[in-house]
């Protein structure tokens, strides 16, 4: 359908001859048009007449040769096409090592914004472990036999506060992100988080704590939308997989710190056993506040707002001086133009229309797979290990070790993502998770549950977490950033986060009843439950999850537009754009199936 498309210079169809004016069609004066690549018009300006050979080229006037290298008779249109071709080649040919050398500031800022996800992961992990903290259960629980417990009903209610808030927060996040930008939304969330921690810290009842968890989820849920969107928009294609998967590492860090802190304070015999973990959330706010006003805005967002010069300035801040900023900017502008041509839209409704529906389905599916494969058990890790037969000290130690293995796994995944891509790693990892969950369930069926069987279950859980964090854990965030169209990226990620959150709410209701000794007391038999769900996810992923490795956003737009099956994404060849001559004469660039 779109085998050939004109780069940058085209008429948007409104009859004014002004290319890419999007929402500014009321501007009929061609002299007011700002060249996306920054070239000034030569005065006096003489627009093309309708009887020119190609009416689409109006408003791209001829300019005299100057120090920028324009030859006699070379037009701004030709120079813009040259910049675009350079940008596309640079994006496609840039190696990982070269990208690290040229974009250290983009890497640093992307990692900085992802710190918010650490707070998101820390909070629910904290609460799940407090159910096994003696002082917390004495102050907030009830006596059951020879110990104190938080009832399954309250565990469910408290644990639901955060995911319910996340669903609402994720959906709401897209609006300020699109209207105010990524930077201002991020800064506002940090300030609000610092205020909400006061409610948790001074809580004297489970009801007050529930209110704090609900509000915390509302704000913290925005971080998981901001982080992958920002990472995918400030870095080149060669770095996308690593910086978006860093979001998963932040989840692991938050969970690891939550386990480590509660393990260290669980033996304190007063209220500081749970107040210290709550107040440590202010530490991350203190880390972020000094730098949050210096965060560069996303150049993609600035281009969509027609703030071309601001986007140019942001690109200079993100890249080394030797990077051709004009070429990069031209590439961003062209991708945005192509999505307008393909009617990508920019509303929530647009996420579920046309080709965007498939992209939204993939984003939702890979994110929900995390929940359906059993990741929510991590929030109850200590409690689960206790019910599996370990004493309190062993349970806390294993919960910390569980997440330490995940930390190592996520780092290992960066090399695997670079070598094997997204689809292969996702399918391979999910296959192993199914096998491991079923084995855990089988071990739990051994009569008498001998000590050896209990420790074997624990060991398999550690192996499960390692495979999760080298595969579907980090790859999910890579696919979130790559499968969504740039114009609806924040809304697609928000919709996927909301879907994951709704499933998370269901698991938050179910898991306490499944593992609580007063209720189902399933222990390791949960492996059968999550193994079966993961097998269904594996079947879906085989047919629906595409390979997006080494594809630019523009190439992905075209592959989805051509409705290429997921299994053929990796082998489908879109010829590199070829411009006739350095000046780009003719201006048409074809993307041709090889």
Condensed to tens digits (0 to 9), the pLDDT of residues 507-537 reads: 878 887 787 766 777 777 888 999 999 999 9
Give the model's confidence band at 259: pLDDT under 50 very low, under 70 low, under 90 confident, else very high: confident
SS3 at position 178? helix
What is the structure's pLDDT at 368? 95
Number of H helices, E strands in the chain: 22, 4
Does 42 have pLDDT greater than 50?
Answer: no
Lowest mean pLDDT among 47-61, 62-76, 168-182, 221-235: 47-61
Average pLDDT for 320-347: 82
Backbone angles phi, psi at 580, to 5 degrees: -70, 100
pLDDT > 70 fraction of the chain, expressed in percent and rounded: 78
What is the structure's pLDDT at 90? 64
- How far apart CA 415 and CA 304 sit, in angstroms, is 33
Closest to 560 in 3D by CA, of 369, 342, 411, 374? 342
Does 370 have pLDDT greater than 70?
Answer: yes
For residues 277 and 119, the answer to whether their CB atoms sit within 8 Å is: no
Does 115 have pLDDT greater than 90?
Answer: yes
Q: At what angle do helices 381-388 and 392-420 cross, to 10 degrees?
A: 120
- How far apart CA 148 and CA 130 sit, in angstroms, is 12
| Mean pLDDT of the chain, nearest integer | 79
Average pLDDT for 144-161: 79
For the chain, helix, strand, coil in percent to 5 are 70, 5, 30
Average pLDDT for 20-39: 43
Does 114 have pLDDT greater than 90?
Answer: yes
- How far apart CA 511 and CA 479 sit, in angstroms, is 28
pTM as predicted: 0.75
Give me the domains of the chain, ranges plus CATH numbers: 1-100+564-594 (no CATH), 104-318+342-544 (1.20.1250.20)
Does 47 have pLDDT greater than 50?
Answer: no
Residue 393 has a CB neighbour count (10 Å cut-off) of: 11
- How far apart CA 268 and CA 272 sit, in angstroms, is 7
Does 589 have pLDDT greater than 90?
Answer: no
- How far apart CA 145 and CA 150 sit, in angstroms, is 13
């Amino acid at each position: 359908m779109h085998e050939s498309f004109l780069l940058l210079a085209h008429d948007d169809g409104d009859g004014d001859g002004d290319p890419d004016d999007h929402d500014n069609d009321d501007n009929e004066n061609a002299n007011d048009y700002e060249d996306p690549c920054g070239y000034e018009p030569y005065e006096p300006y003489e627009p093309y007449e309708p009887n020119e050979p190609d009416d689409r080229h109006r408003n791209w006037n001829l300019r005299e040769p100057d120090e920028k290298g324009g030859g006699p008779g070379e037009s701004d249109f030709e120079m813009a096409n040259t910049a675009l071709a350079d940008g596309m080649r640079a994006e496609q040919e840039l190696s990982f090592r070269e990208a690290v050398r040229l974009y250290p500031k983009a890497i640093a800022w992307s990692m900085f914004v992802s710190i918010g996800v650490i707070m998101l992961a820390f909070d629910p992990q904290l609460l799940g472990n407090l159910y096994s903290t003696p002082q917390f259960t004495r102050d907030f629980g009830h006596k059951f036999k020879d110990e104190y417990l938080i009832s399954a009903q309250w565990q469910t209610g408290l644990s639901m506060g955060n995911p319910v808030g996340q669903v609402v927060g994720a959906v709401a996040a897209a609006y300020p992100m699109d209207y105010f930008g990524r930077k201002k939304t991020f800064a506002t969330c940090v300030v609000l988080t610092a205020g909400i921690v006061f409610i948790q810290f001074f809580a004297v009842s489970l009801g007050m704590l529930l209110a704090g968890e609900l509000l915390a989820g509302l704000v913290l849920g925005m971080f998981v939308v901001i982080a992958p969107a920002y990472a995918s928009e400030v870095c080149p294609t060669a770095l996308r997989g690593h910086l978006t998967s860093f979001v998963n590492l932040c989840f692991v860090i938050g969970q690891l710190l939550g386990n480590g802190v509660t393990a260290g304070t669980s033996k304190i015999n007063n209220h500081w056993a749970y107040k210290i973990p709550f107040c440590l959330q202010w530490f991350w706010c203190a880390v972020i506040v000094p730098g949050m006003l210096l965060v560069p805005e996303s150049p993609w967002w600035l281009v969509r707002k027609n703030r071309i010069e601001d986007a140019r300035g942001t690109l200079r801040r993100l890249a080394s001086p030797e990077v051709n900023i004009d070429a990069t900017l031209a590439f961003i502008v062209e991708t945005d133009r192509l999505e307008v041509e393909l009617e990508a839209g920019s509303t929530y409704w647009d996420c579920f229309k046309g080709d965007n529906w498939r992209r939204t389905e993939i984003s939702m599916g890979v994110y929900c797979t995390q929940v359906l494969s059993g990741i929510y058990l991590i929030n109850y890790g200590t409690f689960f290990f206790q019910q599996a037969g370990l004493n309190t000290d062993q349970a806390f130690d294993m919960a910390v070790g569980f997440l330490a293995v995940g930390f190592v796994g996520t780092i290992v995944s960066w090399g695997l993502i670079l070598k094997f891509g997204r689809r292969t790693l996702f399918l391979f990892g999910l296959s192993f998770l199914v096998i491991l969950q079923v084995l855990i369930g089988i071990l739990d069926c051994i009569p008498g549950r001998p000590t050896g069987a209990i420790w074997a279950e624990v060991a398999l859980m550690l192996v499960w977490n390692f495979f999760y964090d080298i595969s579907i854990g980090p790859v999910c965030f890579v696919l979130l950033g790559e499968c969504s169209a740039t114009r609806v990226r924040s809304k697609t990620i928000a919709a996927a986060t909301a879907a994951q959150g709704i499933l998370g709410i269901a698991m938050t209701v179910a898991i306490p009843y499944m593992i609580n000794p007063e209720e189902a007391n399933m222990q390791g038999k949960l492996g059968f439950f999550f193994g079966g769900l993961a097998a269904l996810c594996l079947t879906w992923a085989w047919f629906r999850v595409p390979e997006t490795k080494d594809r630019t956003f523009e190439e992905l737009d075209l592959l989805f537009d051509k409705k290429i099956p997921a299994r053929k994404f990796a082998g489908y060849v879109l010829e590199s754009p070829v411009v006739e001559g350095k000046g780009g004469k003719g201006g048409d660039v074809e993307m041709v199936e090889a």
